[in-house]
């Protein structure tokens, strides 16, 4: 029902379908992450700058594509465009924190007034960052719903409404997505705090 309501709000256009199809290579690259351990363990993780969690002041870098490893600016994202997959990056030494699957982020841009107050405060000019790890089975989230306001996991179709702070609007996931606070400075997106909640599926 919730998914049908989203579709009623903004029917899927031919252009949206074409744009989505053009991101299949990104999907293929990201699905490789699904077989990796969800949480790095031990002291080695803490000692490896590529595997530590996002740090306040980190920039954000493209996960893949022609700009892989380059820093992302707020102007790089467009309202209604497919989401961008990214990793946090130490802006001082350009170390991309891509050694932990839980660091993968999905970025999307909405009109600031379309965001709930708490999420708006943690956004940068309408750009919001959520964990890209689906809370159902841990697959990476790579698509945006035709409505433009929800993120979709391609593995099993779980859909998360950005306008409701990542709330699940279509299963099988049962837990909302966690967001990462952002800010912008000197024309760049920066991490502004810690994840708002637990990452990935509930631990059994």
pLDDT, tens only, 16-28: 333 444 454 455 4
Whether 95 is covered by a domain: the verdict is yes
Q: Is residue 134 very low, low, confident or very high in pLDDT (cuts 50, 70, 90)?
A: very high
Over 80: is that where the pLDDT of 79 sits?
yes
Instruction: Choose between 13 and 24: higher pLDDT.
Output: 24
Whether 66 is covered by a domain: the verdict is yes
Give the residue numbers spanning the domain of 60. Answer: 2-35+50-191
Least confident of 27-41, 45-59, 61-75: 27-41
User: Which tokens sit at 131?
Assistant: 């964990």
Whether 197 is covered by a domain: the verdict is no
Whether 45 is covered by a domain: the verdict is no
Whether 74 is covered by a domain: the verdict is yes
Q: What is the pTM of this model?
A: 0.80
Whether 98 is covered by a domain: the verdict is yes
Whether 71 is covered by a domain: the verdict is yes
Split into its structural domains, the chain has a count of: 1
Direct distance between the N- and C-terminal alpha carbons of the chain, in angstroms, rounded to an integer = 28
Whether 41 is covered by a domain: the verdict is no
């Amino acid at each position: 029902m919730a998914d049908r309501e989203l579709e009623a709000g903004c029917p899927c256009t031919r252009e949206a379908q074409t744009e989505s199809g053009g991101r299949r290579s990104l999907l293929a690259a990201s699905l490789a992450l699904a077989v990796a351990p969800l949480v790095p363990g031990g002291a080695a993780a803490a000692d490896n700058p590529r595997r530590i969690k996002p740090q306040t002041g980190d920039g954000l870098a493209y996960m893949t594509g022609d700009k892989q490893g380059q820093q992302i600016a707020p102007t790089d994202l467009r309202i209604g465009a497919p989401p961008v997959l990214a990793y946090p990056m130490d802006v001082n030494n350009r170390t991309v924190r891509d050694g932990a699957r839980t660091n993968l982020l999905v970025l999307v841009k909405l009109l600031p007034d379309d965001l709930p107050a708490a999420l708006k405060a943690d956004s940068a000019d309408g750009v919001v960052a959520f964990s890209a790890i689906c809370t159902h089975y841990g697959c990476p989230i790579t698509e945006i719903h035709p409505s433009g306001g929800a993120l979709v996991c391609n593995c099993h179709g779980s859909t998360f409404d950005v306008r409701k702070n990542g709330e699940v609007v279509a299963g099988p996931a049962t837990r909302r997505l966690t967001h990462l606070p952002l800010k912008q400075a000197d024309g760049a997106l920066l991490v502004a705090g810690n994840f708002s909640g637990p990452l990935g599926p509930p631990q059994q």
